[in-house]
Amino acid sequence: MEWPNQARVAVSIVVNYEEGSEYSLLDGDAQRETNSEVPSPLPLNERDLANESFFEYGSRAGVWRVMRILKRYGVPATFYCCALALERNPEVGPAIVQQGHEVFGHGFRWEEYYRMSRDDEREAIRKAVESIQRTTGERPLGWYTRYAPSLHTRELVAEEGGFLYDSNSYADDIPYYAEVKGKAWLVVPYSLEVNDTRFWRGGMNSPSDFYQTLKNTFDLLYEEGADSPKMMNIGLHCRIVGRPSRAVALRDFLEYATGFPDVWFARRTEIARWWLEKYPPGQSRTERLSETCAAF
């Protein structure tokens, strides 16, 4: 197995653009969104203006800071886009595309697809795709459900037409194929470990923790990549890593990682297309690894 130009590791940076799509009493939801980083004293059926402002920061300031850092290092990213968030901040979608990043399907808003009927979920996916295409000018080719996917999600995405792959998996360090109705379907796995949500959900206390997590992951995958190339996923959120102190950790990591040879910073669809072309369905992972080891 190999990446372009014999890269040891493919680095996929994912920026979740969600702010404005979270649960909100103003949008008719039964309860507002919570923020575990700064717990609210108010009941869930009452607005918390302070909590709302934590989310709003991502769309007002965080997204632009993240894009400036990516531009500084010439690193492309994939933006997991909630369609409603783009509708509510119409400057963001065009900026994502103009700066060379990829738009990716992440739902119309924060919706629990596993609670939906099959037909309702199909319609929700179509609604998100149509909206994202309208606000950015590009159709998303990949899909990732914000909450747990339903038992039908992968099948619906594969049936929809226009999608190349999904990322509803955390099962590997490289892409792989899953079976959908007797046919091979590409999965480009994601990560909740190398992900800034751990600031809000627990397990990460400081920007230095985040930097060390990024560096440790990169270092080991780069080392292993000498024998069998790997993929590194980095999950970011504008309301979290977009804060100045945490953005420094992202900046410092990119300064570090871009100093290495044989690293491919890639959009997820680039990774998917490479895999589909070079390693089409029918070749097992064991066979791929055997060929790679034989080459060294």
pLDDT digits (tens, 9 = 90+) for 104-138: 999 999 889 999 999 999 999 999 999 999 999 99
Average pLDDT (158-164) is 94
Residues of the chain with pLDDT > 70: what percent? 95
The residue behind tokens 């717990």 is 39
Of 31-40, 52-61, 147-156, 255-264, give the lowest mean pLDDT range.
31-40
Separation between Cα atoms, residue 143 and residue 55, nearest integer Å: 23
Q: What pLDDT band is residue 283 in, cutting at 50, 70 and 90?
A: low
| 207-224 and 244-257 helices, crossing angle to 10° | 20
Q: Which domain holds residue 165?
A: 4-294
Q: Which residues of 211-220 are buried (b: 16+ CB within 10 A; e: fewer)?
A: bebbeebbee
Q: Are 188 and 105 within 8 A, CB to CB?
A: no
For residue 103, give the nearest of 78, 83, 121 by alpha carbon.
Answer: 78
R_g (Cα) of the chain, nearest Å:
19
Which domain CATH number covers 17?
Answer: 3.20.20.370
Number of domains in the chain: 1
Beta-carbon count within 10 A of 221 CB = 19
Average pLDDT (263-292) is 80
pLDDT at 39: 80
Separation between Cα atoms, residue 195 and residue 121, nearest integer Å: 26
Beta-carbon contacts of residue 34 (< 8 Å; ≥ 6 apart): 40, 44, 51
Q: Are 106 and 146 within 8 A, CB to CB?
A: yes
Beta-carbon contacts of residue 223 (< 8 Å; ≥ 6 apart): none
Q: Is residue 101 over pLDDT 50?
A: yes
- Element housing 120 (H / E): helix 118-136
**pTM strictly above 0.85:** yes
